[in-house]
Structure 1
Amino acid sequence: MTRHGKNCTAGAVYTYHEKKKDTAVSGYGTQRIRLGKDAIKDFDCCSLSLQPCKDPVVTPDGFLFEREAILEYILHQKNEIAKKTRAYEKQLKVEGEELKTLSRAAKESRVQNFLQKEGSIVTKPLNPFKTDSSSSGPSCSSNCSAGYSSAPSTPSSSGSSALSASEQKDKQLPSFWIPSLTPEAKPSAVKKPVKTVFCPMSGRPLRLKDLTPVRFTRLDPSLSRVSLITRQDRYVCAVTRDVLGNSVPCAVLRPSGAVVTLECVEKLIRKDMLDPVSGAKLRDSDIIVLQRGGTGFAGSGVELKAKESRPVMQV
């Protein structure tokens, strides 16, 4: 086969060779890549801002936050709850007014029906001295005359009723070019808001008094904050002086806020259940396991594959 035959692009079929070549050049369909270490949050970074914490606090579930960021989040959530509460109360007020209007209209309709029925009752007493034959004569003639006179008026009455029905139908139909007849969408109903602020990471209720201050022990206390951020090994265990990182399970002691390794907790602290920094008595709830992002090999429950959709050529 000649070179021209190999590079022929006049075919109507999108071949496997062309698809593979396009995939190598620009991507075909969905591509998956493995996230590296740079794409994972460090253990000492805020879960909201993803930056190293200046004044860190930890929740009872072990999620680390910057104090300013989590306070701003709680304030924003409370403002949203207050806004939704005002909208819900306004909706309840409107519904109450509508119910009052409907009850008032129903009461007026009952009164009108009662008055109409009362007006149709005959209150004239019957004449006991009047015979049935004499009473039947005029009534028969009146009935006949009434029937004779009412017979020609039947078509006109039916025509007027049909005309009124068509007019009512025209009034009920919506119109998209007349502003007064344009149909409008009803506002969606507002549900009763929950007045509890939930943690953005765990989804559990979050309160200010549940936040525990965290105090990391620096590897080199003489380093400034800028030089400390640029280093990979920044903090150590407060007891064993082991370097902390995403690959080292850590825990926070609630009384002192010190960060120690879980190995130190299991081998040293749980024997006496005393805080080695402050000397306070510890309970099981005072040992908060710090959540970490993982490494490039272990995700620690985090999805480590990123998906990117690319345009696909249709044949």
Structure 2
Amino acid sequence: MVRRKSQKQNNHNPFTHQEARSTLTHYGTQSVRVGSDSQLPFGHCALSLTPIMDAVVSPSGTLYEREAAVSYLMREMEKLRVWREAYEQQCKNDAKEQAQLEQKSLSEKVQNFEAKEGGVVMSGTETSHVNKHGEARKEKLKKEGFEVLDKEEKQNVLKRTSYWLSDWTPDAGKKRVEVPPKRASSPFSGRELRLKDLKSVTLKRDSDSTEKNAVGTDVVFVCAVSNKRLTTQPCVAITKTGSVMLKSSFDEFAKKDMVCPVTGSKFKDKDVVELKKCATGYASSGKVEAEVYRPTMV
């Protein structure tokens, strides 16, 4: 490989076009096509990653197995119940601490008032004279080598010099509980998800297909209108009728008249959900190319 740095001005790449496209250079944007084994097949549950038998679709367009979706919502609601109990207990503790602080403040005010009313109150001049006399006596004893600080003053000095003490971080051991949400959230969109928001849909299977998945059962889903195999194409579900079809078939046969080509029933715009390809830790979300950028080293 020949580097032509001398023929390039400024800080341009010293490689030719063919050298830059070669995988031996290992710089620039490298892209590779994701294989089918790295993508979640169409018609597989986004939670259990298995072929769907009883399909439901969320408002965001994610397909689930009904049993897996219901189990997920039940677990999340139980977590929310425990979360709410912890938050309510925290609110009660905060109210109790606030009441104790107010009571303590009121008691101190009462004690100060009784001390003033029960004894002789010195004027400001006399008080300042006594304070100056006490400070002068402390300074004299300090010079002579005596310990003049009381216990409270020693603690204040220790707090100022010992930053590792717990007084520097009084809230370190108190973990605050955040306000819990009202409902469980979707595992993919993050929006609130209720059981009644899940709409039943029908996934049409190709009975003549011989393709087998890891479980060993025939799992090939086709468009309800064109009978074309559904893989990575954009798909649409009509929640009112439960029909799942290609977006191209929907635009051609259903969008104009707003009539389902499978059942003949009319539907509205709110009944149309564009299906999304779910992403997991082991599956891509429908993007068939993965890219990584490596900076140019010249």
TM class by shorter chain equals 0.5 to 0.7
Decide which of 216, 230, 253 is 1:244's aligned counterpart.
230
Equivalent AA in structure 2 for residue 167 of structure 1: K
Q: 1:227 to 1:51 in 2, by over 3 A?
A: closer
2:281 maps to 1:282: no
Deviation at 1:242, TM superposition (A): 2.2
Secondary structure in 1 aligned to 2:232?
coil
Q: What's the RMSD between the two structures over aligned residues?
A: 4.2
Q: Deviations over 1:165-218 (max 9, x none)?
A: 2433445648x9xxxx9x974312222122232211122221211111121122
Once residues 85 and 306 of structure 1 are traced to their aligned partners in structure 2, the CA distance between those partners, rounded to angstroms, is 43
109-118 vs 32-41, which moves further? 32-41
2:193 maps to 1:193: no
**Aligned partners of 1:35 and 1:306 also within 8 Å:** no
Secondary structure in 2 aligned to 1:236?
coil
Aligned to 1:262: 247
Equivalent AA in structure 2 for residue 271 of structure 1: K
**Aligned partners of 1:255 and 1:286 also within 8 Å:** yes
Q: 1:155 to 1:236 in 2, by over 3 A?
A: closer
Decide which of 198, 202, 211 is 2:198's aligned counterpart.
211
Decide which of 237, 253, 277 is 1:292's aligned counterpart.
277
Specify every segment of 5 or more residues in structure 2 that has no aligned partner in the other structure, as ranges: 1-23, 25-29, 122-132, 293-298
Q: 1:67 to 1:221 in 2, by over 3 A?
A: farther
Aligned to 1:44: 43
The structure with more radius of gyration: 1
Specify every segment of 5 or more residues in structure 1 that has no aligned partner in the other structure, as ranges: 1-23, 25-30, 123-150, 308-315
Q: 1:164 to 1:108 in 2, by over 3 A?
A: farther
Aligned to 1:168: 152
**Aligned partners of 1:34 and 1:304 also within 8 Å:** yes
**Aligned partners of 1:32 and 1:306 also within 8 Å:** yes
Once residues 167 and 293 of structure 1 are traced to their aligned partners in structure 2, the CA distance between those partners, rounded to angstroms, is 65
Once residues 228 and 241 of structure 2 are traced to their aligned partners in structure 1, the CA distance between those partners, rounded to angstroms, is 18
Secondary structure in 2 aligned to 1:109?
helix
Larger fraction in helix: 1
Q: 1:229 to 1:292 in 2, by over 3 A?
A: farther
Aligned to 2:56: 57
For these two proteins, the number of residue pairs brought into alignment is 245
